[in-house]
Amino acid sequence: MKSHHILTEIHLYHPPQSLGHLYLADSPQPGAQLEVAGQQYTVLERRHRYQLQANHYQLHHIALYVQPALSAINTMGSIGNENCEYNAHSALLRCAINPDGPCQDCVFFLPKTNLSPF
C-alpha cells in the first residue's frame, strides 16, 4: 500500500508564528516529537482541515501547533522543578502559574509538602 503524503502546516504555539508547510506521510499525535529545519518540536495540538469535494468532505490539510522540545525532562518524566507544589507533572506544561518558565529563581516556587498526591 502506497503511503499518502498530506500537506501539513506547522505553527509555533507561543509566540504565535508559522514555521512553514511540510508533506508528511503520517499525522503526529500530540506529545510526539517533530523535526522542522533541524530544530526539535513537541506537538501540542493537531487540527484537521476539510474541503467539500464531489458532495463529501475530504481531508485537505492538517495544522500542527508545536512548541520547542525541552531537553530538561526530570526523573518523573515531566519538565520543571519536581520539588515545587505547582509542577504540572507533564512533559508539555511546566506549571499553571509560570508555564513558560524558567523554574530557576521563580517567585512562585512553593516547596512540595508530604501531603501532596505526587
Residue spans of the chain under pLDDT 70: 1-4, 70-78, 114-118
CB distance 9 to 66 below 8 Å? no
Nearest to 72 by CA among 103, 111, 28: 103
CB atoms within 10 A of CB 64: 24
pLDDT at 83: 79
pLDDT at 108: 84
Determine the Cα–Cα distance for residues 92 and 13; give it in Å rounded to an integer.
12
pLDDT at 76: 55
φ/ψ (deg, to 5) at 103: -75, -30
pLDDT at 1: 36
What single DSSP character describes residue 87?
B
Q: What is the pLDDT of residues 70-90, one digit of tens each?
A: 655 555 566 777 778 888 777
pLDDT at 2: 42
